[in-house]
Structure 1
Amino acid sequence: MTFTPISLSSLKTIKNTVIGNPSAKSQLAQDEELIQTLVQCLNDPPPSDSSGEDLRVEAAHVIASISYGSEAVLGTLLRCDAPRAFLYAISKLSPEDPAILRAAFARGLRALAIAIADTVGPSLWGLRDERSTIKNDAEAALDSIFQIESLDVFLPLLVDPSAPTRVFIAQLLGFAVRNAEHRSAVAAWLPPDDRLKEVKTKRGWEKTAANANAPNRQGGWVCRSLSALIHSRDAKLQEAALWGLATIAKENATVAAALTKPPTDREGPSLLAFILTLAKSRSTDTQLAACLCATSVLRATPSPQPLHALAPADDAAARTVMNVINRIVSASSEPLPARTKACFVLYNLVTDHAPLAFAAFERGCLGKVAAVLHGLTPPPAPSEWDADEPDSGAALREAALTAVAAIALFDNTIRRSVTDDLRLLPPIHAALSARHVGVRYAACQCVRALSRAVSVLRTNIVDSGLGMAVFQIFKREGKGDTDGEKREGEDSRVTAAALAAVCNIVNEFSPLRPIYLDLGLMPRLVQLLQGRDPTLRLSALWAVKNLLSKSSGETKRDVMQCLGWGRLTELLDDADGAVQEQAFHLVRNLAENEAGIEMLFRALGPSGLLAHLTSALGAVDDDVVQQATYALANLANGAPAAQAHLLAAPALLRALRGVLAERAPHIRRPAVSAVLELARTSTAGRRALGAAGVGGTLRQMCSAARVGGGGGARGTAMDDDKDVIEQARTALDWLEHGEAYR
């Protein structure tokens, strides 16, 4: 599809040919010379009967059109350095250049940036295919777009006289910023002149007192500029600015605070209050943008309330968002993409936040989403029940399942409503076999949330077949033969979600634990432990740890035989603190009875086991120290032979004293328990503890509790509860007067 020479009419023909035509875009990708010519035309149009400005505008429109939908075309655009060409073209704009040229360049950069961000991820509205051959190039290109030199070029267009230009740049921020680093760079950006003022202030050349004209006031320059656009009467500008603000306010307490404070220069409500009024506008897209913006502010605002409560203002704002989302989700007249976005806004609002999740349940959000799932899912059907489902339907199913998983994650009452009242197990079960990767992923997350309830796990998960269905997903790997047909292996993200569910299902109260073991659970976990995916490695270790909790001696032997003691030693030394934490928790679970303790000393050797414990007790990571201390406390409850090994290790006892003296109360609890058990052993044992300085540290803990203060920087003795202090006094009494108890 080469048109030579480039002319205005040929460019329009290309644009009209490729719009909405993926095959035409793929064909165009094969003509790299033409795409290179298009990119060059942005800054150096060839001679033509038409004006150079018209050619540059049309070339920008063509590139914007072909950026979407074809990885091959995007890859060619990246090789031709299209992002840099757009940035250079924008940097050379002058006030005399026509508005249509400025808008075309802003639109082209927006389209290209969003297409690159979609390739890099994470996706804004559900999972996308990660099998991109250009991901590395796309990551480098996206990083370059959000470097300060590039931000200096296109962010000033947020105050451009051209309204379409401002819309495109706000949309770029709303949809192309995907990670915390880029978000922080945008939120902190200042125009070069303002940056000079900041430097002078920091050097003491100006007073640092509160200044109404300080460059960083009201959340920073970008926040102020987007906030001004929200007050525009142009609906497109309002919507674009809301998407942009939603992005930069995410996980940014400074921006969130600026949006929740009443204006200082005039009377009126806070910007958040105004945003909530826009959530009731006539435009569904504006409603969604306002709800997401309010969500970002709510989730980024530190709350002085306890974890189980919401501040009154936050509660009112959350109710407004939930009411709007409920209307959109349940409205069959709304297009499917809008209802999909509404479900994801709800997910963003409640995810990992127990009070908001329960509030959403009480406001009927779960019921609305459940109705969507029942409407999308037919009665029991053949395995290819979703073969003809449009992508928009699958996206809505994924979004609804994702919202269900987030709402149900924390509360057993909600989980029971999911299984018994709303009867969502059949739609979830069907979704586990869906074609679309995002649907399977979201269904696995639902199983993970539901399996956190013991009663649900022991009954519904087992009886419905969900437990076995998610296990089959977990076991699926690579390319293999399934039912006589070659099928591609499972997406690693789906595997990770299924594994998270398996971690819950293998706990000691689960009827499926022995069944999973018989069906090859451990070999698959070991395979994942040997892999390169850090998420899968950690979750696999977590599952092994759960398997060993409250398990029989036979199960412990079988599990460790498959895992390998050498591999456990490697995990105890792993550079990743999270892996070390789970490895020591595994040791803790092994040491929960005398048979397991004997197995540990025999397999690892006293010197090897105690050396690892000694090192872990002095680790920087408190989570590692806590699990190592619990493991030591379990060992201290073992037979006299095990206790003798501990007491014969002065370095270990000194490390134990360090935990008592320096660590937080939740870590001191198992440490005091270990000391008490060891103090009861023998006179020689008490001498060993005394020589390590344990008695003096216990005395300080008890004394500080009596006088109402003291302790170190890591936590005061007053933070310990009465049971720990009483246990510390008992241990101290044994150390000082142990012979009197004989």
Structure 2
Amino acid sequence: MTTSKYQESIKDLASADDAKRLKALRFIKNSVIGNKTKKDLYIQLGVVQKLVDYLTLPDATSYLLKIQAATVLGSIAYGKDENVNAVVSAGAITPLLDALALRPNVPVIEAIREKRKLLEAVTRALKSIFTCPRTPKDDIFTEKHISDLVALLDATSTYLCQQGQPSATSESLSFGMIAEFTAAVIAKCCDTQEQQMQLASAGVIPPLVNLLHSGHVKAQEAALDALATLCRENSELGEIIIHAKPIDSNQLTTATMLDFVRDKCPNMRLIAATCLTNLYRTGIFIEPFTDIVLVVLPALVKLLKDPANDIQERAPLVLADLVKDSEDMQKAAYDADAISRLAELLASVSSKDNDEDSEEPIGVPGVGSVAKRKEKVRENSLIAIAAATLLKEECRSQAISSKVLPHVVTALQSKYPHVRLAACQCAKSLSRSVSNLRTSLVDAGVAAPLLKLLQDESIVVQAAACGALCNLTLDFSPMKKSVIDAGAIDRFVEYSRSNDSKLQLNGVWALNSLLYKADLSAKKAVMKSLTYDALIELLHEPNPGIQEQALEIVRNLVCGQQEDIEDVIEGIGRDDLLDVLECKLQVTSNMGLEGEDSTTMISILEPALYIVINMSSSSEEPRTMLMSRPNIVNSVIHHLSHESPKIRVAALWCIINWTWINSDHDEDALVERINRLQALGVEQKLQAMEKDSSRDVRDRVRTALDQLTSIDT
């Protein structure tokens, strides 16, 4: 392709003749708009730096040139991250932000009118630049620039609201675009809570709320998007947004958003649903469950069928955010048939990767590469199914009955890492099912691709595959054998030594799952690879999650016959094992967890107590060994008064096993243990627990008391 006329236009930019420079800028603008090839060409010809230099010229003498330069920069940056990088590297952000400054000492609306075409071009360019997630945000947050942005948004939103109905005049349309683009920039600059708070402190929320009532649809959508990002995981700003009211109105912002969820425009409905979902997740939404379930959730389910633009890509992620970590919301999703609709969407895009010529309906006609759109819809549908099936068995049943498993297995073998990752997350959620449903996963052939993903090029995918296998190896002896035969034990051991905390945790967790209800030969196979020395190190890891799983490994190792227990005592060492138990049973004082939440403490205490229980269940020698340590005995008795019922139950089982007799030959040892427990006041503690709030505790108390008082001492 000849480049002479394009090179000539670059030369003309250096002309001293303003008319010639303006003509060249218009030629470049007309060449690059909508043309990726010409954008790349002009970047190579060095146009970006010249355009940035134009932005630094004074308004008074170069107003028209600056408008064209900003327009071309915005066009070059639009649609491709590499182009944004070129614009950013040329230093475009600062002069573009500087161009937002309004002339002082004149009414703000008049100051905007003086340069509204330039403001329109500049804000459009900034929107294109900040759409790229890698664009640096620091320059936005200088005092001058953040003040200019808010002033511009405040003035344009007030102007638009006072107009009432949108006007078709060029000024009204221009003000609407300036407000839209400015709100869009703000929406892309809320990556951290610090940034959210800076923007809120600068006064950005009231004008965004005003824009919701401006009547300019695109400005309303941008304002909703900005409010959604401002309140994401930020309850303080969520509270402010909920109670914010627009000019001349008493309508709460949330009521306005609920109206938008019912809007005819799919994009408006989705953005409003996103904003309400983010508010709901802060925990401060007004009457959250009713409004979300009756309005937002059905709207999202309906949007799953809407092929407009990128709706089907985005809606599953909003749905995932809405239902994750909430049993009530997952039940509502089940009732709304959301999982079945997600399964349909997944099925419609689960043909072979990059199958551009498929004649089957794919459900995402949109703009751009069909293969890329299918990839994104498939990934996000899997993420949503994973979120919707995480906590409730009926949701998992609905997913499996909706025939998602073949598509999950196919996605595990996708050439796209993000699809493989989402499929692993989905397999992990579904594998939390009761055994008959987990059998469905095994029968569907999920094991082989998961095992293969343990060697994936992505560490994140490896960790996710490992997490899914953790659940699948719990009850299935054939599955355990497949994992062992595939050499996965060594891989899990390798993970357990990883510097990546997620991978390390999942590796230890997977080893623990393999040991659950395992026979002695499987235990020996795991420990031959892991080694007891490495296990001791894991027991003292700073990460409480890894400590918990390491303790669970010991718990599973000592579950069984006397030979199982003796193998562990020999492997760890008698004194070292007792030292570990002594330390973990005094978790609140010895583990440095003061100030940690009680859940963390319980996660350490519970497996430690069950190690004591399992060791005390078979023969006399381990009981005697445990009770040789006063700190272990005193800790168990102390935990009879623990605030958690399950810790009280575990402590009671320790007492029950210590007061159980295996044979008449052990009666003398039993009497000695009972005398010691009596002297420590255990009987009085048990009597005080007879009216415990937990039925399980009360039942165990009766057994413990019966055994404690059954032998004359």
Structures share a fold, TM > 0.5? yes
**d(CA) in 2 for partners of 1:673, 1:432:** 43
CA contact (8 A) 1:243 1:293 kept: yes
Q: Secondary structure at the match of 1:550?
A: coil
Distance 2:621 2:103 in 1: 81
2:627 to 642, 647, 665: 647
Distance apart, 1:604 and its partner CA: 1.1
One-letter identity of the residue aligned with 1:552: D
Distance 1:725 1:428, change over 3 A: closer
Q: CA deviation at 1:518?
A: 0.7
The whole-number CA distance in structure 2 between the counterparts of 1:174 and 1:341 is: 16
SS class of match (2:310):
helix
Match status 1:492 vs 2:463? no
Task: State which drifts further: 346-355 or 55-64.
Answer: 55-64
Distance in 1, Cα, partners of 2:468 & 2:141: 37
Change (3 A) 1:441 1:644: same
Q: Counterparts of 1:16 and 1:296 in 2: how far apart (Å)?
A: 41
1:345 corresponds to which letter in structure 2? Answer: V
1:449 equivalent to 2:410? Answer: no
1:577 and 2:548 correspond: no
Distance of aligned partners of 1:384 and 1:83 in 2 relative to their CA distance in 1, 3 Å threshold: closer
Q: Provide the rounded CA distance (Å) in 1 between the counterparts of 2:72 and 2:700.
A: 75
Inter-partner Cα distance in structure 1 for 2:87 and 2:516: 54
How far apart are the structure 1 equivalents of 2:96 and 2:52?
8
Q: Please say if 1:323 is aligned against 2:318.
A: no
Deviation, 1:522, is: 0.8
Deviation at 1:396, TM superposition (A): 1.9
1:713 corresponds to which residue? Answer: none
Q: Deviations over 1:414-453 (max 9, x none)?
A: 3333333x22333333323333333322222222222222
Aligned pairs, how many? 642
**Could you tell me the TM-score, scaled by structure 2's length?**
0.79
In the alignment, structure 1 residue 394 sits paired with structure 2 residue 375: yes
Q: Cα offset for 1:534?
A: 1.7
Alpha-carbon shift at residue 549 of structure 1 (Å): 0.9
Determine the structure 1 residue equivalent to 2:214: 232
- Write the distance in 1 (CA, Å) between the matches of 2:376 and 2:336: 24
Answer whether contact 1:262 1:268 (CA < 8 A) is retained: no
- Distance in 1 separating the partners of 2:646 and 2:25: 68
Gaps of 5+ in 2: 1-5, 15-20, 157-174, 359-369, 594-599, 661-668
Pick from 267, 274, 296: which aligns with 2:278? Answer: 296
1:352 is aligned to 325
Say which SS state the counterpart of residue 606 (structure 2) adopts.
helix
3-state DSSP of counterpart to 1:160:
helix
Distance 1:684 1:502 in 2: 46
| Cα contact 1:26–1:70 (8 A) shared by 2 | no
- For 2:282, the aligned partner's letter is A
Deviations 1:225-274 (A, max 9, x none): 32222122111121111111222223333444455569699886532222
How big is the shift at 1:573? 1.4
Deviations 1:523-560, CA, capped at 9 Å, x for gaps: 22122223332212111211111111111111111111
Select which of 430, 440, 448 maps to 2:420.
Answer: 440
Q: Is the alpha carbon distance of 1:25 and 1:371 closer, same or farther for their aligned partners in structure 2, counting shifts above 3 Å?
A: same
Distance 1:454 1:604, change over 3 A: same
Task: Give, as a single letter, the amino acid of the residue that structure 2 aligns with 1:476.
Answer: Q
2:129 alignment partner in structure 1: 112
Contact 1:506 1:513 in 2 (8 A): yes
The structure that has the greater radius of gyration is 2
1:411 to 392, 409, 413: 392
CA positional deviation for 1:13: 4.6
Matches of 1:144 and 1:81 in 2, distance apart?
Answer: 11
Question: Which is further off, 632-641 or 20-29?
Answer: 20-29
Q: Which residue number in structure 2 is paired with residue 668 of structure 1? A: 648
Cα shift at 1:505: 0.9
**CA distance in 1: counterparts of 2:98 and 2:690, whole angstroms:** 67
- Say which of 326, 336, 340 aligns to 1:363: 336
- Where does structure 1 lack aligned partners over 5 or more consecutive residues? 120-137, 192-220, 304-310, 478-488, 707-717
Measured against aligned partners, the alpha-carbon deviations of 1:635-693 in whole angstroms (never above 9, x if no partner) come to 333532222222222333444455445654433331232244335654554576678xx
What is the DSSP-based 3-state SS (H/G/I as helix, E as strand, rest coil) of the residue aligned with 1:330?
coil
Please say if 1:60 is aligned against 2:70: yes
Distance verdict in 2 for CA 1:562–1:157, change over 3 Å: farther
Q: For residues 272-322 of structure 1, what are the alpha-carbon distances to aligned partners after superposition, in whole Å with 9 as ceiling and x for unaligned?
A: 22211112223221111111112222232358xxxxxxx976234323223
Shift of residue 179, structure 1, vs aligned partner:
4.3
Secondary structure, aligned partner of 2:289: helix
**Alpha-carbon distance in 2 for matches of 1:504, 1:29:** 52
SS at match of 1:531: coil
CA 1:695 to 1:417, structure 2 compared with 1: closer, same or farther past 3 Å?
Answer: same
**3-state SS in 2 of match to 1:246:** helix
Question: 2-side partners of 1:591 and 1:91: how far apart?
Answer: 72
Equivalent residue for 1:538? Answer: 505
Task: Answer yes or no: is the 8 Å Cα contact 2:474–2:513 preserved in 1.
Answer: yes
| Code of the aligned partner of 1:467 | A
The correspondence of residues 260-271 of structure 1 with structure 2, limited to 5 A, is 269-271=251-253
Equivalent pair of 2:233/2:278 in contact (CA under 8 Å): yes
Rate the CA distance shift 1:278–1:512 in 2: closer, same or farther, 3 A: same
* Aligned twin of 2:117: 100
CA RMSD of aligned residues (A): 3.6
| Amino acid in structure 1 at the alignment position of 2:377 | L
The equivalent residue for 2:256 is 274
Q: CA deviation at 1:148?
A: 7.4
Q: What is aligned with 2:534? A: 567
Q: 2:201 aligns with which of 190, 194, 197?
A: 190
Query: Residue 519 of structure 1 aligns to which amino acid in structure 2?
Result: A
- Return the letter of the residue paired with 1:315: T
After TM superposition, the structure 1 stretch with the greater mean CA deviation from structure 2, 275-284 or 624-633, is: 624-633
Shift in CA distance, 158/496, structure 1 to aligned 2, threshold 3 Å:
farther
Structure 1 partner of 2:666: none
Write the distance in 1 (CA, Å) between the matches of 2:75 and 2:698. Answer: 70
